[in-house]
């Protein structure tokens, strides 16, 4: 086994202390920048990444799912001749692994001929037997491959690890380029940097070519495990770049061995799936039955040739680091060539000689599991005590085939900008290759990562690394990024994006309902607390607080036993205070808002996301931590209402009027209709029953006090107030306004049945609007007809509430849930 030399290669400076030639334009441009300007650029880049929402989620991080993307401004430049060597070497390895993959799920000739150990397949949990005869070759060959490289002291590159299942990072690399090329314009212009865009265009073409024959205009999707995945940002970003619909398993269904996307417009056949979730989780029917992320029947659909999954299912089997020990021989046998780039020396402990060598060189290796599971860390024996080493050796000897020893390669030093100057840190370069028509083509760039901590031997974004742009330099044969920029193809004009998955429509609908319910709850609590906080509650105040507490109870904010309790009693005051920040009703709303905004994050603008984030973090904390201070709580409730107004404003001003927006708006309209009905019901029912106190509260809840005052210049009267909040369709708070908007949305939605009013939800909305329009509100002004009219209006609002709840169910049936949640069926062997 060849091993890498010790000592360190410096990326920027030669042994003689001079700047390497390909670094000189960069260093020249950067040293020309005054330090303050440079610091400002660093800050600008950081802000840009934050604004673009670039995150990397870290598992088990108490700070939650989002960590900002850390970048360093200094790029890694790679000269053209060196890049040609790297890309040719990796194309060779990808080709080789593709052949191994095809053999694993095919004839297994390589195992039978003893070219690598069978237990790397048979003992490998990522070997998925249902994929036998399916994965490998043609459209089901390896599609995308990444390799992590380090450079040893002599300047040669070594492969540390390779990814073949669902490799990540290409999207981050592109985003790094987009931001950093602008931040460091001077240096970027001074170097002939190759552009990344052509690679993504090539990738898109390669994906299209994977479509089953005869599908000329294939529908392609990117399958993500969802917003809690560590690289979810990249899934969203790549889907946009490659023109794919971003879907989760629940968005897809298999019928008749074809895969369909569940959209608002019905089922749409899917031809190509770019897979970003681990194979094992992709089909609970044939792979892991406990997966809730999968698509039932996907393997069978692939088998039938009706859809292509890339990378093919089961391609994680060749990710085992143990394979590296056998690749040189496999290359000679399968390609008749030597490997152009070696792996870091690898010993698979399942062989006695390797085990012995591993024990003898314990301090010079890192121990990795042959079949890593999530969260399993590599072990550095040199950091262990003698007892620790003995224990490790014992563990390895018990199950030797489960372990791999890999030589520690001293990686090159890459300068990283710090406020104190440039500091060298160990570096890893990830390179991406796509299979285009049988040839593996490398993205001319990559994701360069430094450990972020000189003492940490492993470079990993999961462990808090920092990333960099990678500049592959052109030597004239290839177009540079600037040239590519100037000749970028004009995009065809489009008015809508892809079909909206039903699940996204559902999430948007419920997000809006919870936003509105939050606003309603804040208004109810503010109505009660502001009167209590003002002190000196008179008889009118007691009545008004009573009405507000009834409303609060109907919204689950207060216990119903408190209805009718004295308004200023300790029980009522402390229950109201509790309800603001800690009560179960508010807690449910906050948690639902957090979940739904996370789910639909990529459909919201960064500003809307920030607003939602402010609400569920800062405002929530404010309400939670001021339980006994009424003034502080009132400020918190004001904040809730203001922040939600900003959210609503952005939705109405910044979102295009696509189907997603319609569901967002319908959610708001429907929830507000329910609230207005509850408020009007409160003003009409005993004890208020049309009295001034009840009407005053109603106006306040519906944010219509000022309108009433300017319109009537008089104390509230039943007729004018109820007209304003129920039947006046020019008032955006009135019930009529909500119903008019809802019917308009329903009329505009895509439907399979073109007949008007064919859907139950249309019947319900139009019916509620017609019933409201037939009301004679002015009859409230006549004492003779007052009581009968109050009763009629009460039954109207009760009836409208019922219709609105039924409407929500009807929408769910018509647009959201094509299927019920899946469950596994077992077999009973109890008697056998």
Partner 1 sequence: MIYDVTHRTTYEHGETVDLAHHVLCLTPRTFEYQRVKHVSLHAVPGGETNSLTDHFGNTVTYLTIDEPHEEFVVELQAEVEVVDRPKVDLTATPPWEKVRDALAGDGFPAPVEESEFIHPTAQTPSLGALRSYAATSFTAARPLLAAVRDLTRRINTDFKFDPTATLVTTPLAEMFAERRGVCQDFAHLQIACLRGFGLAARYVSGYIQTLDKDGKPNLVGGDASHAWVAVYCPGLGWIEFDPTNDLMVGGQHVVLAWGRDYGDVSPTRGIILGGGRHQIDVAVRLVPVPA
Residue closer to partner 1 by CB (options 133, 649) is 133
Q: Which two tokens stand for residue 293?
A: 């992320």
Would you say 387 or 398 has its CB closer to partner 1?
398
Angle at 665 between CA 610 and CA 719, to 5 degrees: 120
Q: How far is the CB of 245 from partner 1 (least distance, A)?
A: 22
Q: Using an 8 Å Cβ cutoff, are 470 and 429 in contact?
A: yes
| Neighbouring residues of 62: CB distance < 8 A, sequence distance ≥ 6 | none
Tokens describing residue 681: 């019901």
Nearer to partner 1 by Cβ, of 266 and 822: the residue is: 822
Shortest distance in whole angstroms from residue 3 CB to partner 1:
21
- Minimum Å gap between C-beta 129 and partner 1 is 4
Strand partners, 161: 148
Alpha-carbon 284 to chain mean position: 22
Q: What is the number of other CB atoms lying within 10 angstroms of the CB of residue 386? A: 7
Q: Name which of 110 and 589 has its Cβ closer to partner 1.
A: 110
State how far Cα 197 lies from the chain centre. Answer: 23
C-beta closer to partner 1: residue 332 or 635: 332
* Nearest approach, Cβ of residue 376 and partner 1 (Å): 17
Tell me whether residue 283 or residue 728 sits nearer to partner 1 (CB atom): 283
Please give the C-alpha separations between residue 559 and each of 283, 425, 519, 565, 566, in angstroms, as whole numbers: 45, 60, 20, 11, 14
**Which position has the token pair 């969802």?**
226
In residues, how long is the chain? Answer: 832
| Least Å from the CB of residue 79 to partner 1 | 41
Query: For partner 1, which is the closer residue by CB, 213 or 827?
Result: 827
Distance in Å, CB of 407 to partner 1, minimum:
19
Minimum Å gap between C-beta 326 and partner 1 is 10
Q: Mapped to the 3 state alphabet, what secondary structure does 613-660 carry?
A: HHHHHHHHHHHHCCCCCHHHHHHHHHHHHHHHHHHHHHHHHHCCCCHH
Min. distance of Cβ 821 from partner 1 in angstroms? 7
Tokens of 796: 């109207």
Closest to partner 1 by CB, 44 vs 818, is 818
**What is the nearest approach in angstroms of partner 1 to the Cβ of residue 97?**
20
Report the distance separating Cα 96 and Cα 494, nearest Å: 42
DSSP β-ladder status, 346-348 and 470-472 = unpaired
Contact 547, 604 (CB under 8 A): no
Q: For residue 812, what are its two tokens?
A: 């769910």
316 versus 648: smaller Cβ distance to partner 1 = 316
As a whole number of angstroms, the distance between CA 27 and CA 219 comes to: 46
Pick 303 or 531: Cβ nearer partner 1: 303
**In the bound complex, what is the minimum distance in angstroms from residue 331's beta carbon to partner 1?**
19
Look-up: residue for tokens 């929402």?
A: 53
* Least distance in angstroms from the C-beta of 289 to partner 1: 8
User: Shortest CA distance to 501 belongs to which of 284, 713, 750?
Assistant: 750
Which residues are near partner 1 by CB under 8 A?
A: 108, 111-112, 114, 117-119, 122-123, 129-130, 132, 253-257, 284-286, 289, 296-297, 300, 303-304, 348, 350-353, 399, 401, 819-832
Q: How far is the CB of 822 from partner 1 (least distance, A)?
A: 5
Smaller CB separation from partner 1, 112 or 463: 112
Own/partner long-range contacts of 804-810 (Cβ < 8 Å, ≥24 apart): 804/670, 804/673, 804/674, 804/677, 804/764, 804/768, 805/674, 806/760, 806/764, 807/670, 807/742, 807/761, 807/764, 807/765, 807/768, 808/513, 808/670, 810/759, 810/760, 810/761, 810/764
* Adjacent-strand bridge partners of 146: 163, 432
Q: What are the beta bridge partners of residue 480?
A: 194
Residue closer to partner 1 (CB basis): 73 or 254: 254
């Amino acid at each position: 086994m060849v091993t890498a030399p010790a000592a360190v290669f410096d990326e920027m400076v030669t042994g003689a202390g001079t700047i390497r030639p390909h670094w000189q334009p960069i260093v020249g441009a950067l040293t020309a920048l005054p330090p303050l300007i440079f610091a400002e650029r660093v800050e600008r880049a950081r802000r840009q990444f934050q604004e673009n929402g670039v995150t990397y989620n870290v598992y088990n991080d108490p700070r939650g799912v989002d960590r900002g993307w850390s970048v360093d401004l200094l790029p890694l430049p790679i000269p053209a001749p060196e890049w040609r060597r790297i890309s040719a070497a990796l194309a060779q390895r990808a080709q080789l692994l593709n052949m191994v993959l095809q053999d694993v799920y095919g004839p297994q000739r390589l195992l039978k001929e003893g070219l690598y150990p069978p237990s790397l397949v048979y003992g490998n949990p990522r070997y998925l037997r249902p994929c036998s005869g399916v994965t490998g070759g043609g459209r089901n060959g390896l599609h995308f491959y990444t390799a992590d490289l380090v450079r040893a002291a002599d300047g040669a590159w070594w492969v540390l690890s390779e990814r073949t299942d669902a490799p990540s990072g290409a999207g981050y690399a592109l985003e790094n380029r987009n931001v950093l090329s602008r931040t460091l314009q001077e240096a970027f212009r001074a170097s002939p940097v190759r552009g990344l865009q052509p690679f993504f265009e090539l990738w898109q073409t390669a994906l299209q070519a994977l479509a089953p024959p005869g599908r000329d205009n294939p529908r392609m999707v990117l399958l993500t495990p969802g917003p809690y995945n560590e690289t979810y940002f990249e899934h969203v970003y790549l889907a946009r770049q490659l023109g794919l619909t971003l879907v989760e398993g629940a968005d897809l269904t298999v019928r008749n061995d074809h895969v369909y996307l569940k959209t608002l417009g019905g089922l749409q056949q899917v031809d190509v799936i770019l897979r970003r979730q681990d194979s094992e989780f992709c089909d609970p029917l044939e792979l892991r039955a406990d997966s809730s992320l999968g698509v039932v029947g996907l393997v069978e659909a692939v088998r039938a040739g009706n859809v292509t999954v890339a990378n093919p299912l089961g391609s994680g089997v060749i990710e085992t680091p143990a394979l590296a020990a056998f690749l040189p021989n496999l290359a000679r046998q399968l390609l008749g060539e030597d490997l152009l780039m070696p792996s870091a020396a690898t010993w698979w402990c399942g062989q006695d000689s390797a085990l012995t060598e591993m024990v003898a060189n314990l301090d010079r290796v890192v121990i990795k599991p042959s079949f890593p599971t999530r969260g399993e860390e590599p072990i550095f024996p040199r950091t262990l005590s003698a007892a620790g080493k003995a224990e490790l050796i014992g563990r390895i000897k018990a199950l030797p085939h489960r372990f791999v020893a890999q030589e520690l390669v001293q990686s090159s030093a890459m300068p990283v900008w710090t406020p104190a100057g440039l500091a060298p840190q160990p570096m890893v370069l990830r390179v991406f290759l796509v299979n285009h028509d049988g040839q593996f083509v490398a993205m001319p760039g990559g994701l360069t990562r430094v450990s972020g901590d000189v003492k940490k031997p492993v470079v990993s974004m999961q462990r808090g690394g920092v990333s960099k742009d990678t500049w592959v330099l052109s030597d004239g044969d290839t177009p540079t990024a600037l040239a590519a920029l100037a000749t970028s193809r004009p995009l065809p004009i489009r008015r809508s994006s892809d079909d909206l998955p039903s699940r996204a429509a559902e999430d948007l609908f419920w997000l809006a309902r919870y936003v509105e319910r939050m606003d309603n709850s804040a208004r109810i609590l503010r109505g009660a607390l502001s009167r209590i906080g003002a002190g000196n509650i008179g008889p009118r105040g007691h009545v008004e607080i009573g009405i507000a507490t009834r409303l609060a109870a109907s919204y689950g904010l207060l216990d119903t036993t408190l209805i009718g309790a004295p308004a200023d009693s300790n029980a009522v005051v402390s229950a109201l205070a509790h309800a603001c920040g800690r009560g179960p009703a508010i807690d449910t709303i906050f948690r639902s808002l957090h979940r739904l905004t996370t789910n639909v994050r990529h459909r919201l603008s960064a500003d809307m996301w920030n607003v939602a984030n402010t609400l569920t973090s800062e405002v929530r904390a404010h309400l939670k931590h001021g339980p006994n201070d009424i003034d502080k709580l009132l400020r918190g409730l004001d904040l809730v209402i203001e922040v939600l107004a900003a959210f609503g404003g952005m939705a109405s001003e910044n979102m295009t009027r696509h189907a997603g927006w319609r569901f967002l708006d319908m959610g708001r309209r429907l929830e507000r209709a329910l609230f207005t009905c509850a408020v009007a019901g409160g003003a009409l029912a005993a004890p208020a029953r049309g009295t001034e106190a009840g009407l005053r509260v109603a106006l306040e809840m519906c944010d219509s006090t000022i309108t009433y005052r300017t319109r009537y210049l008089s104390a509230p009267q039943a007729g004018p107030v109820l007209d304003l909040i129920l039947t006046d369709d020019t008032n955006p708070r009135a019930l009529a306004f909500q119903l008019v908007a809802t019917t308009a949305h329903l009329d505009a939605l895509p439907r399979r049945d073109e007949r008007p009013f064919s859907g139950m939800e249309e019947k319900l909305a139009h019916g509620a609007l017609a019933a409201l329009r037939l009301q004679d509100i002015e009859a409230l002004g006549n004492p003779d007809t007052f009581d009968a009219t109050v009763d009629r209006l009460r039954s109207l609002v009760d009836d409208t509430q019922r219709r609105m709840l039924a409407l929500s169910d009807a929408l769910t049936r018509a647009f959201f849930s094509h299927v019920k949640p899946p469950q596994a069926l077992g077999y009973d062997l109890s008697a056998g």
